[in-house]
């Protein structure tokens, strides 16, 4: 058995009461709380980022292909979507699904209220499974084979403003020459809490209705939404698609289209990293203070060991081993505390959020075990290295004075 480890273990066994035991408990608690705070912060951060991004992608895909245009109109320039990307998405590595869409502005009118809206026309290719997570009432549109669906899905925000509910009829007026209107039935209500981008203005209908209103052919749409298997490959796949499509089409990522939201999410990532640095700094200062106290308390023992021929390195290793033992115990309880709290929140969602401000109604948790492992390793390595600093005073302790120390 390693001599330094053996002596450190005997010291720990003897310090089960008194001042030293209290110091040990303080060290364990500080590491436990620091690691727990770091793990909880990172899991919440990743959960929040993933929840918001998932809502953004459910409406816009990861990439959008549309015609080049220099106007700021919400209505797109039509183009034929019968291109290789649409007809055979499998030839583009990483592409999971491609679906066509078109937007058209209108005026939603009921007997009591009037509201400007954007009608998003979608087809049978629309990913209803992904969108189901945002549905809070009713069902999605049914697309008949031989006719246009006179059904619509609206947001909770619009439903509350217009005093509408599932099963009600509404009239949408379209300002064009000649003016037209459509009477539609509400089959479902969705809620993303992204009111500024979707909930406050967007309703979903049959793409064929938009095509008919615009006098477009069946093969024309305003754009294509591309869903990817791996979001991290967005730039690479986007460039591959750009190289394969016609010169009059463009590829835009959802992250760029809604860059304010994504930049805000990146800012949260930076803040959590700053929090981690602060936590590590506090823990390191605590451990330096604690080890210095333990060295002062064991000054006579250090003098005796030196008088018996022990080297500074051996004595330093005794206190480092003792400190590492405290770190490991603190990490263990920190993991237990953090994972326990996260599991409770993940299962029961007991901590709510203001959905209007945070885009989600509860504190989300994303289980990233690689992040948990990295935080444990980072905490262990940094604190263990810092333990070498206070043990440097051991080299300056004079054996004779240390033995007489009281």
pLDDT tens, residue by residue, 164-222: 999 999 999 998 888 899 999 999 999 999 888 899 999 999 999 999 999 999 999 99
**How far is residue 101's CA from residue 49's CA, in Å, rounded to a whole number?**
26
Each residue's pLDDT tens digit, 41-57: 999 999 999 999 998 99
Residue 16: the pLDDT is: 56
pLDDT band at 10 (very low <50, low <70, confident <90, very high): low
* Least reliable range by pLDDT among 99-103, 254-258, 282-286: 282-286
pLDDT recorded at residue 286? 84
Q: Could you tell me what percent of the chain has a pLDDT over 90?
A: 56
How many percent of the chain have pLDDT more than 70? 85
Per-residue pLDDT, averaged over 339-346, amounts to 96
CA-nearest of 194, 200, 204 to 160 is 200
Q: Can you tell me the distance from the alpha carbon of 122 to that of 103, in angstroms, rounded to the nearest whole number?
A: 9
CB contact at 8 A, 193 and 72: no
Q: Tell me, what's the pLDDT at 206?
A: 96
Q: pLDDT band for position 151 (50/70/90)?
A: very high
pLDDT at 87 over 70: yes
Tell which wins on pLDDT, 174 or 406. Answer: 174
Q: For residue 298, what pLDDT is reported?
A: 65
Q: How confident is the model at residue 122 (pLDDT cuts 50, 70, 90)?
A: very high
- Residue 158 is predicted with a pLDDT of 95
Residue written as tokens 């990861």? 62
Question: Does the pLDDT value for residue 75 go beyond 90?
Answer: no
What's the pLDDT score for residue 323? 80
Whether 232 has a pLDDT exceeding 80, the answer reads yes
| Model confidence at 11: pLDDT above 70 | no
Ranking 70-79, 99-108, 120-129, 396-405 by mean pLDDT, the lowest is 396-405
Predicted confidence at residue 38, as pLDDT, reads 93
């Amino acid at each position: 058995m390693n001599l330094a480890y053996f002596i450190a273990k005997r010291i720990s066994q003897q310090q089960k009461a008194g001042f030293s035991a209290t110091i040990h408990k303080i060290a364990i608690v500080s590491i436990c709380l620091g690691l727990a705070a770091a793990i909880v912060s990172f899991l919440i951060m990743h959960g929040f980022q993933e929840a918001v991004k998932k809502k953004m992608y459910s409406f816009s895909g990861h990439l959008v292909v549309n015609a080049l245009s220099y106007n700021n109109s919400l209505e797109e320039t039509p183009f034929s979507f019968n291109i290789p990307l649409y007809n055979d998405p499998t030839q583009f590595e990483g592409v999971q699904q491609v679906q066509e869409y078109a937007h058209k502005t209108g005026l939603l009118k009921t007997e009591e209220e009037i509201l400007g809206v954007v009608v998003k026309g979608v087809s049978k290719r629309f990913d209803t499974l992904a969108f189901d997570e945002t549905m809070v009432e009713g069902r999605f549109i049914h697309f008949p084979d031989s006719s246009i669906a006179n059904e619509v899905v609206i947001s909770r925000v619009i439903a509350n403003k217009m005093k509408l509910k599932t099963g009600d009829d509404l009239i949408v007026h379209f300002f064009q020459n000649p003016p037209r209107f459509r009477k539609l039935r509400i089959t479902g209500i969705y809620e993303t809490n992204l009111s500024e981008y979707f909930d406050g203005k967007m309703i979903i209908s049959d793409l064929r209705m938009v095509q008919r209103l615009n006098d477009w052919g069946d093969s024309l749409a305003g754009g294509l939404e591309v869903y990817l298997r791996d979001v991290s490959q967005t730039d690479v796949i986007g460039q591959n698609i750009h190289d394969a499509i016609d010169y009059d089409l463009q590829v835009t990522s959802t992250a760029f289209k809604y860059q304010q939201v994504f930049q805000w999410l990146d800012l949260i990532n930076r803040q959590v990293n700053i929090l981690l640095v602060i936590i590590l700094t506090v823990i390191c200062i605590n451990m330096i203070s604690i080890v210095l106290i333990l060295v002062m308390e064991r000054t006579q023992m250090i003098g005796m060991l030196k008088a018996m021929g022990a080297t500074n390195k051996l004595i330093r290793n005794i206190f480092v081993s003792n400190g590492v033992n405290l770190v490991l115990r603190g990490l263990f309880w920190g993991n237990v505390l953090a994972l326990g709290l996260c599991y409770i929140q993940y299962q029961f969602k007991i901590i709510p959020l203001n959905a209007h401000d945070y885009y989600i109604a509860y504190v989300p948790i994303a289980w990233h075990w690689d992040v948990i492992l990295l935080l444990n390793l980072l905490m262990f390595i940094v604190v263990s290295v810092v333990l070498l600093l206070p043990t440097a005073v051991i080299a300056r302790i004079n054996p004779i004075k240390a033995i007489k120390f009281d």
